[in-house]
């Protein structure tokens, strides 16, 4: 996530990168660690010192392991810095929910209560006024954008929502720790596997939090993530019981109206289907919906890049909203093909 963020920020026309930090890599140059960034910056990695960071920038991005951002954020905010956090530390509004899902107390409950969930399609106005933005998890983005129009418009029954998410292996990050064997090439290649079965994946909490806010009452979902033999990309299929029988054309019209004017959500027509190949390397979310009259359900489908709209590119979109810049600034490049 951090490497993808650097790729985007180094060519952003309104941004000057003033420092990069790493506990493991202090003293190493950016170009030597990430050869694809050679020649774009002469910076070297600095130890993570929140006081130093607060004096070095106007806004700080944090791409830290979970439970680490909450140690740095209070220092940065006390010094008046804006923060965009790509970790999960500030995504849940309630400290009790954080304890439930992350099995540890949150050390900055005040910041948790004030943080804005960083999905511009839902919270643009709040993000613009925020000092702390919590960028969503990748699975959560795919699930929320796939189903939000139905929940917001009262077209969904709130029981029995099933979400299936499939991600590329880069979602595991590239940290200096023992890697779960399922992310190894020999295990992931030519293989598809489910994990965190039974609603225990932590992104479930974000999905339920945001869909409940849209619906105006508590929503529970059955969410199962899967690992695909892809480097990048995330594909979501959600099955939602309809409160009112509607056909595919009517449902697509609802989605088009809901996402009208959104710069990064592309609602596909009745004969089109999202694919991960069509969004890789971008901040786009391709989405569509199909009626299943036999079961009275809507099948909602979305495709994103897990490091793009599901991570760092969405963080840059939040940056643009935060500073009042056009949201496409620094994100104009189309997806990579082939």
Show the DSSP H helices in 199-309 as ranges: 203-215, 248-258
Would you say the C-alpha torsion 30, 336, 124, 320 has a positive or negative sign? positive
> Structure tokens of 17?
């990168």
Strand pairing partners for 223?
Answer: 163
The residue from 57, 138, 285, 300 that is catalytic is: 138
DSSP string, 28-79: -BHHHH-GGGTTS---BEE---HHHHHHH-SEEEE-PPTTTHHHHHHHHHHT
DSSP H or E stretch at residue 118: none
* 322 neighbors 127 (Cβ within 8 angstroms): yes
Instruction: Say whether the peptide bond before residue 338 is cis (omega within 30 degrees of 0).
Output: yes
Angle in degrees, 0-180, between the axes of helices 138-152 and 203-215, rounded to the nearest 10? 20
Number of residues that make up the chain: 338
138 noted as active-site residue: yes
Distances (CA, A) of 231 to 98, 167, 284: 29, 9, 17
Beta strands 234-241 and 285-292: pairing type? unpaired
Cα 237 from chain centroid?
16
Distance CA 116, CA 132 (A): 6
Q: Which residues are catalytic?
A: 138
């Amino acid at each position: 996530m951090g490497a993808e963020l650097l790729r985007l920020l180094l060519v952003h026309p309104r941004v000057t990168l003033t420092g990069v930090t790493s506990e493991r890599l202090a003293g190493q140059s950016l170009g030597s660690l990430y050869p694809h960034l050679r020649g774009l910056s002469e910076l070297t990695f600095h130890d993570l010192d929140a006081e130093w960071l607060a004096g070095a920038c106007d806004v700080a991005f944090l791409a830290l392991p979970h439970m680490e951002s909450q140690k740095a954020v209070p220092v940065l905010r006390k010094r008046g810095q804006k923060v965009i956090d790509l970790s999960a530390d500030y995504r849940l509004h309630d400290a009790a929910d954080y304890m439930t899902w992350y099995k540890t107390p949150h050390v900055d409950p005040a910041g948790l209560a004030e943080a804005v969930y960083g999905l511009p399609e839902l919270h643009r106005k709040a993000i613009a006024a925020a000092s702390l933005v919590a960028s969503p998890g990748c699975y959560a983005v795919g699930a929320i954008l796939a189903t939000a129009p139905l929940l917001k418009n009262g077209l969904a029954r709130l029981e029995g929502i099933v979400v299936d998410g499939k991600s590329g292996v880069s979602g595991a990050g590239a940290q200096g720790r023992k890697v779960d064997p399922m992310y190894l090439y020999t295990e992931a290649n030519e293989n598809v596997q489910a994990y965190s079965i039974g609603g225990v994946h932590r992104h479930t909490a974000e999905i339920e939090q945001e869909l409940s806010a849209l619906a105006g009452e508590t929503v529970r979902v059955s969410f199962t993530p899967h690992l695909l033999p892809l480097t990048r990309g995330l594909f979501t299929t959600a099955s939602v019981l309809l409160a009112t029988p509607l056909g595919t054309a009517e449902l697509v019209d609802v989605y088009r109206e809901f996402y009208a004017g959104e710069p990064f959500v592309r609602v596909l027509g009745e004969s089109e289907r999202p694919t991960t190949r069509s969004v890789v390397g971008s901040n786009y979310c391709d989405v569509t919906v199909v009626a299943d009259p036999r079961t009275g359900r809507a099948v909602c489908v979305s495709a994103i890049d897990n490091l793009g709209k599901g991570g760092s590119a969405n963080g840059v979109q939040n940056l643009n909203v935060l500073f009042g810049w056009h949201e496409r600034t620094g994100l104009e490049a189309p997806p990579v093909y082939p």
